Amino acid sequence: MELCDLDIHTLHSKLVSKEITPIDILDSVSKRIREREKDLNSFITIDLELATHMAKESMKRFEKNKGLSMLDGIPMGIKDNMVTKGIRTSCGSKILEHYIPPYSATVVERVLKAGAVLVGKTNMDEFAMGSSTENSAFGPTKNPHALEYAPGGSSGGSAAAVAAGEVICAIGSDTGGSIRQPASFCGVVGMKPTYGRVSRYGLVAFASSLDQIGPITKTVDDCALLLGIMAGHDPKDSTCSSLPVPDYTGFLKRSIKGKKIGIPMEYTVEGIDPDVLKIFGEATERLRSEGAQIEEISLPHTQYAIAAYYIIATAEASSNLARYDGVKYGLRMEDADLLGMYEATRSQGFGREVKRRIMLGTYVLSSGYYDAYYLRASKVRTLIKRDFELAFQEVDVILAPVSPVPPFKLGERIKDPLSMYLVDAYTTPTNLSGLPAISIPCGRIGRLPVGIQFIGRPFDEGGLIWVADAFEETLGGR
């Protein structure tokens, strides 16, 4: 097995024993990028010169037995909607194609401080708007398990890069399932933390009340490690929690005997793909055989989640994207007057899906429609949150499919927005509620991976890691 196919923990052990060096790992990753990137298109920007410099600095530390953390010397990718000082941050959009930020996001600073080797910025749906990474201005990313299939989105580049061995781990963002769904489609682990657990400072906003940054890794062990480095209070983000961050690796290797796991009856109704349902049923029985107590629960307002989500998300997007006008930064199209410049810049800078969501968001916030749409969606959001609160009075975690459908072919849904939006039916409720959730590989349909997700109480990422790690053990993943 090549070094690029190993996980963080295994590589760190080899680094500490001086069996390998950070340069060896980067060489393996670089070779894999040369072999596969032309087909996959996982990255928007790759900077191997910078990565080599970082790897050499890491090697010096290991020679002196002064590694900064278990992440030291590990090549990783950052989704291209997190600003990186001196490195292009495009958000997958022409409007920011040449934007070089003067500062780095808090999460970027934290992983670099821990010694991570930044390989590049990963591809994504434009401004994180999409579920297939087909909306990128830099071309679609392809699923590494079958190139004719989508890798999921909007963090498809991050998930595909990890699955293909182009990086060892990556960071994504999740607004309505954008970490968990591509993790499921690509066969890797992806976590959306509780809203406020990880700083959003430096994350280019799509929908500010829904966005959350999280890790994408090869194993649950690695997820626990990376989350611990990323999480924690940040005075630069007023929505970031000041609650202490536990040692998430302390939740590993525990028994789930007696754990109460809820199965929402609304998540297994008509509309879910039979093969996905079969894999989900097998996962349920596997947990039961490990001693978990499986209980049916109800989340009655689930059917309204997609509608509420797309009203709230597009409303916030229309406000957040108003700053891209050709004046402050990014693309500027000259015209005869100021209004013409605004129109030309936004018309040529934004893609079709971004324009669609801006128009929808502006409509639901407009006079005469605010109460009928946005206000009502906000009330539904409260009801969905209450459903989860009541459910967690009965169970410890909730088990659900990640998506009602398996990975789909590129081009299959892109011309039917409603069909694409329904892919997020099982992930959007947790964003509306601000809850943590983790996607973990569960099985395959032919060549294509399928994942399941565990949903937890607010700030109980440790409990999710506990259960997900135990489940991974049943698959022989440890």
> Which two structure tokens, joined as six digits, stand for 319?
């406000």
Annotated catalytic residue within 79, 121, 142, 259: 79
Query: CB neighbours of 13 closer than 8 A, spacing ≥ 6?
Result: none
HSE, side-chain direction, 13 A CA sphere, residue 246: 14
Closest CA to 179 of 218, 224, 212, 136: 212
Annotated catalytic residue within 90, 93, 154, 318: 154
Instruction: Tell me if residue 69 is catalytic.
Output: no
Annotated catalytic residue within 178, 184, 241, 439: 178
> Which two structure tokens, joined as six digits, stand for 366?
């407009």
| Cβ atoms of 100 and 124 closer than 8 Å | no
Instruction: Tell me if residue 178 is catalytic.
Output: yes
Q: Looking at the annotation, which residues are catalytic?
A: 79, 154, 178
